[in-house]
Amino acid sequence: MATALVEGLTFTTSDPVIVDDALLGGFADVLGSRSDSFGLPLVFSVTTILAHLAMDSGAVPRDGLVHTAESLRVTRQPRLGDRLTGELVVEEIRHRAGATQLQVRSTILADDSDAPIAVTVSTLAFRTPDD
């Protein structure tokens, strides 16, 4: 049974993304760089996990989902040794013209930080399923 899509619906990562040499090396291979600072890919790896949790729940469809807007605020770059976790919250739902539009906030935390190291706010849209 699918999870009902309601404002306040929350998804959290069950396991941390550990920033280690292997993870950084994988990004270096893909990006063709040997930098030890891959802040954006690391943040987006956590937000991708959160998005998959929402899709796996059935609350958000896997097909026909359109990303219409996104903002990102990084207050600290992820560092080697960080254990990154995340939380995605559905903040607003609007239905109009046969479409559902969501605003979701993803907060990324490192285990040594009380404040988020990054926050994304995304607007997603999909065709409203027939009832």
43 and 118 Cβ atoms separated by less than 8 Å: yes
Total-model pTM: 0.86
Q: Tell me the pLDDT tens digit for each residue of 53-97.
A: 999 999 999 888 898 899 999 998 888 889 999 999 999 999 999
> Percentage of the chain surpassing pLDDT 70?
85
CATH architecture of 10-127: Roll (3.10)
Structure-model confidence comparison of residues 36 and 87, the more confident one: 87
Residue corresponding to tokens 């049974």 = 1
Residue 26, pLDDT above cutoff 80: no
- Domain ranges in the chain are 10-127
